[in-house]
Amino acid sequence: MTRHGEAVKELDECIHNIRQLSGHQRFLLGPTLDELKGWASEGPIVVVNVTDIRSDAIIVTSSGVNSLRLPKLTKTDAIKWILEDLTSYKTSEEKGKKNKQYSQFLSWLWSSCVEAILQKIHNGTLATPHSLPRIWWIGVGIANYLPFHAAGDHSTRSTENTFHWVISSYTPTIKALCTCERKGIGDRQITKRQNKAPDRDNARNSR
């Protein structure tokens, strides 16, 4: 047996021994379906992936794990919007122009991605403003730059935006969310990210 083969065998034996220890039976193994569902007990976890081939959302809820194809969300369009660098400006005139473009960007993100996801999760039923459900967003690759929490039409009386459907939070991975829940870390300490998106009033005024 070569040294490489011996090393592989030693590693396998080491992992096997670790899994014999109490509490480490699933060492280096992925989560089970029941574990995933348990981690989504406080709200759905949505993983958005954008590639050259296709775009999908993996939706984890307390009842199961499902995938949703997003045919309107293309990598070409996502990159185009990201490269616009709409949150940087030097003059008030440029700011006004970019705010209008940002509104178009948020509308595109809603129609190509977020709307379909929320419709899938909530069956088209809009919650009352005082009982909005929680959702955890995970963007993979370039999707990490997309402000899912701010997507939509922010004109007066419009409900076609994320703000009216859910309370958004971000986590880099499902495992990170699980670790924070196990340690009892509060919402203000848990990993979140708020992109540089205009707030609701600014989004309305830029239209």
User: pLDDT (tens digit, 9 = 90+) per residue, 85-143?
Assistant: 998 988 999 999 999 999 999 999 999 999 999 999 998 888 887 889 999 999 999 99
Using one digit for the tens of pLDDT, what is the confidence trace for 138-175?
999 999 999 999 999 999 989 999 999 999 999 999 88
> Is pTM beyond 0.75 here?
yes
In sequence order, which residues have a C-beta less than 8 Å from that of residue 30 and are 6 or more positions away?
none
Phi, psi torsion values for 167, nearest 5 degrees: -100, 120
Token digits of residue 122 = 């909530």
In sequence order, which residues have a C-beta less than 8 Å from that of residue 200 and are 6 or more positions away?
154, 163
Residue 30 is classified by DSSP as P
Can you give the residue ranges of every domain in the chain?
1-29, 31-205
Question: What does the alpha-carbon distance between residue 194 and residue 13 come to, in Å, rounded to a whole number?
Answer: 44
Residue for token pair 């995933």 = 36
Q: Sorting pLDDT into bands at 50, 70 and 90, what band is 183?
A: low
